[in-house]
Amino acid sequence: MADATSITTWPGCDPQVAEAIAAFSRAWGPYSAQSRRYSIFRLLKEKIDPAWQGLLARFPMVTGSVLKTAWVRYELFRSRAGTRVDSDGNLIETSDKAHSPALSDGEFPDFKSLSLIGQQYGFNALDRFIYFVIRSTPAYDGTTASDIMLTASLDSLRNLALACRAKKPKREYHGKVNTLRGAEICRLCDQATELSAHLAGNAWPEEDIDDQRLRLSSLYCCKHKPKKAFSDAVRADYLRAKRNQGAFDQELERLDRQSWAGTAAAYAKSGNPAVDEYIRLLSAHRSLTYEQQPSDRLDTLETRLRWEARMLVDRRISDRKKEIIALLSSGMNQSEVARQLGIERQAISKALHSVPQEYRLDRLSNAS
């Protein structure tokens, strides 16, 4: 998902920043932090740094002092020494030892270069630094058009930082084996492919162990591999997953969009507001957004999104069922939902009866 051709920019984002991110996403195909020939930091320097510097010039409220304060707050967040961060991103002292680290000017990064911050400190640091910039601006109240544009621009740059964090090289070298990007996770679920599982040091598949080593799949896991070694029979698990691959890809795309947008607003873009709301509720309940992830767990989110998409398909949580549950979550009863959707109340009950309890988000919302 991190190799998608488009990186989400928020509505109201500064036009120059939005254009720079669009140009970056059009060009970033082979680029990654691990690549020497196609260094993503060089691409950031060419495409993003000028837009960032222009943004600072257009918003004089983001002064050098504000940027330094934001960096100090990031350092406090990272150390977690005697502090905690509340729901609004504010640092709260929890012990007498909590204090702001005394940093000299030489210890601060070059705030005019996001590429340099990402290269020297990592994309997690870049994301959190941008997060604290808006919360360190004294003149910001979030209500004026200028404030809204600044917020959308910084949130778009955070999306960019997280996308760069997850970006993998097109090719990775493991000894004498050259693997292609996209061959790490099974095409049909969240499990590692046979080849990537082997490269990670996992055990060989139990079946046909002597010959299986020559036939490791780079596209599918052990469960979804089309055929067993030296067998002409196509596996039922593969056929079943292949039949609904389109639905799996659709659910994954929706969850992926919502993961970047957070939980404040529905952003699945399914074409149905009620379905979008269900995806938002599911993402919030399962903590499937980047804003909810600790820095050391960002790597696992893509796998969790794929697992959730697989479950939505396998448990047959159709768009109609999502729509019904989302409307029930809004406070409507079954009769009102039936009238709004133009169907019988019995159809509502029948649809809900087939939904597993862990996907009845209307009940989970009411219980909480």
Alpha-helix residue ranges (DSSP H) falling in 28-104? 40-47, 49-58, 64-79
Query: Within a 10 A sphere around the Cβ of 294, how many other Cβ atoms?
Result: 7
3-class DSSP state for residue 168?
coil
Please check the confidence at residue 209 and state whether its pLDDT lies above 60. Answer: no
pLDDT-derived band at 163 (thresholds 50, 70, 90) equals confident
Greater pLDDT, 209 or 355: 355
Q: What pLDDT score was predicted for residue 286?
A: 92
Q: What pLDDT score was predicted for residue 339?
A: 95
Give the tens place of pLDDT for each residue, 111-158. Answer: 999 999 998 888 888 988 998 898 888 766 667 888 889 989 998 999
Q: What pLDDT score was predicted for residue 86?
A: 43
The residue extents of the domains of the chain are 15-166, 171-236, 245-367
> Nearest CA to 184 among 228, 222, 220?
220
Q: What is the C-alpha to C-alpha distance for residues 285 and 88, in angstroms, rounded to an integer?
A: 19
pTM, two decimals, is 0.59
- What phi, psi does 285 have (nearest 5°)? -70, -35
Greater pLDDT, 163 or 168: 163
Q: What is the C-alpha to C-alpha distance for residues 270 and 252, in angstroms, rounded to an integer?
A: 12
Element (H, E) at 126: helix 123-135
Strand pairing category for 83-85 and 177-180: unpaired
Strand pairing category for 177-180 and 171-174: antiparallel
Q: What pLDDT score was predicted for residue 31?
A: 84
Residues 47 and 27 sit within 8 Å (Cβ to Cβ) = yes
- What phi, psi does 173 have (nearest 5°)? -100, 120
Q: What pLDDT score was predicted for residue 85?
A: 40
Return the percentage of the chain with pLDDT > 90, whole number. Answer: 37
Residues 166 and 2 sit within 8 Å (Cβ to Cβ) = yes
